[in-house]
Chain A
Amino acid sequence: MEKEWDKITKEDLKDMSTEEIVDLKADAEHLQETLQEILELCDEALNS
């Protein structure tokens, strides 16, 4: 199933308020941190 993020354009994002963009940015950063933690855990488990 195609995700919303795949079809989104910059113009769509432009219509959002700064607050909303910041909100999404913060969510994405949090997710990025979690993914990084998962990768580190994987490395740790595989190299044990």
Chain B
Amino acid sequence: MDLKKANETYIKLKAELEAEQAKADKTKSVVESYRNKIVIQEGKKAEAQENGSETGVKVATEEIKRLKEEIKRIQEESKEQQEELTQKQEKLETIINEIKQDPQMKAHLEKVTATKYLRDLKVADAEKQALENRIEQHTKVEKLVDENATMRNHLTGLMGAKLTVKQLQEEISKLEGKNDPTSLNEKTVKENQIKEAESKYARIKNEVMEYIYNHQLGIEEQTIASIVEGKVAVDKKTHRIDIKASIQNNRAAIDKKLQSKNRQMEHYTRGIEKLGYTITTPAEEAQKQEQVAEPQGVASTQLAKEPEKEEANKESWWKRAKDKVSSWKWVQKMAKFFTYEVEEEPKQLEEGRAKSETKPEAKQQESKQEFKNSLKYEVVQNIAEEMYKQNLKEAKKELGKESKKEVEPEEAEK
């Protein structure tokens, strides 16, 4: 690779683009000035028409015509320049696509993408556990209202107090802006009612929490708050708050979120698998090494590359290197993006090349660092992002089709 030549070329190309940019900026100012001049001439023309000055009209008309012809010329030139620029952009795009399709780049982007999925999977798993905890909490509250009539009444009272406050606040908001004595009095009454309801709420909540604490029920205060502030179910016959149905409704909403979270996790898992990786837990790793370890959750999982795919990638890597000896420099350049050992260069390519004085370990470290840095570059980030979205979309599609296939035979039996 002739780095000096590459650098000179880059500088020349950049200089050309910069010169064209400066010219375009100037042209833009010229067009703006012509446009303003046209407006002025149109004004003069109108004025001349009003004054009955035929000469004035003629002069202004000719000036407008001249300015418009100039603008037309600039328009044509700019269109041509735009077409040429599009060709330049296409050349750059081709190179970017080649970067994208390079087997080594692809392999590493797959690893980056799989790592992102694993990270997202771990986040989703933590959220799933939080949802499961909330469901467990709701089950405990449901048991409490089933077994203890006082607590059932208390929770109903809490829900009622919250509803009262909400209703009164809405009523007060309707009175906002009204300053007549009746409205002001009504507002004060409602504000006092809110204070009473809030005081009642605090008193009952303390009793409930004390009972929960004394009986070691393990129900958190925030669970109680989320239930009483959640969607209220009303008994159709008595028109009173149905606390049990309210709890169940709340739990059903969390269940729905949990199902969605499970689907999301399936998508990430499939996304990882589609990239040729598997998720292994430390327990599985230990099993492989015939060691004993307790199974752990998703949070402690890691990625493992499926051997076949890695081998296939390696094969295409060498195939490319062997088939296209002349492109070795490019391949080597791309290899810098990855953690692969660049030292594994085919022997026939070593001839005529100066031996590096850098130690292999240092070289490998440098190569790794260079790849990490490459991710900072917009193009690589864009490609990685594109791969993340596209692969996840395909994973969702696949899982959707599979679940449809699973449902269909059951439906056929009905």
Contact = CB atoms under 8 A, between A and B. Distances in A.
A38 B98 CA distance: 33
Nearest to B336: A17
A30 B21 contact: yes
A22 B380 CA distance: 10
Interface in B6-40: 6, 9-10, 12-18, 20-21, 24-25, 27-28, 31-32, 34-35, 38-39
Contacts of A44: 35
Contact of B92 (A13, A31, A41): A13
A31 B85 contact: yes
Interface residues of B, number: 58
Contact of B35 (A14, A24, A35, A45): A45
Contacts of A31: 17, 20-21, 24, 85
Interface in A13-30: 13-30
A11 B354 CA distance: 22
Contacts of B24: 31, 34-35, 38
B82 A4 contact: no
Contacts of A45: 31, 34-35, 38, 67-68, 71
B72 interface: yes
A46 B38 CA distance: 9
A8 B91 contact: yes
A12 B78 contact: no
A37 B28 contact: yes
Nearest to A13: B95
Contacts of B13: 4-5, 8, 24
Nearest to B80: A35
A8 B14 CA distance: 12
Contacts of A24: 10, 13-14, 17, 92
Nearest to A31: B21
B209 to A, nearest CB: 59
Contacts of A10: 91, 94-95, 98
B389 to A, nearest CB: 20
A18 B377 contact: yes
A42 B32 CA distance: 9
B31 A28 contact: no
B410 interface: no
B407 interface: no
A34 B1 CA distance: 35
B412 interface: no
B14 A18 contact: no
A28 B72 contact: no
B2 interface: yes
B9 A28 contact: no
Contacts of A8: 9, 13, 91
Contact of A41 (B18, B35, B379): B35
B390 interface: no
29 contacts: A5-B16, A10-B91, A12-B5, A14-B98, A15-B3, A15-B5, A15-B6, A15-B9, A15-B330, A16-B9, A18-B99, A18-B337, A18-B379, A21-B96, A22-B378, A24-B14, A25-B89, A26-B378, A28-B88, A29-B89, A32-B82, A34-B24, A38-B24, A38-B31, A39-B75, A42-B71, A45-B31, A48-B35, A48-B42
Given A18-B380, A28-B85, 13 more contacts: A4-B15, A10-B98, A13-B95, A15-B5, A18-B99, A21-B96, A26-B378, A27-B14, A27-B18, A31-B21, A32-B85, A41-B31, A46-B68
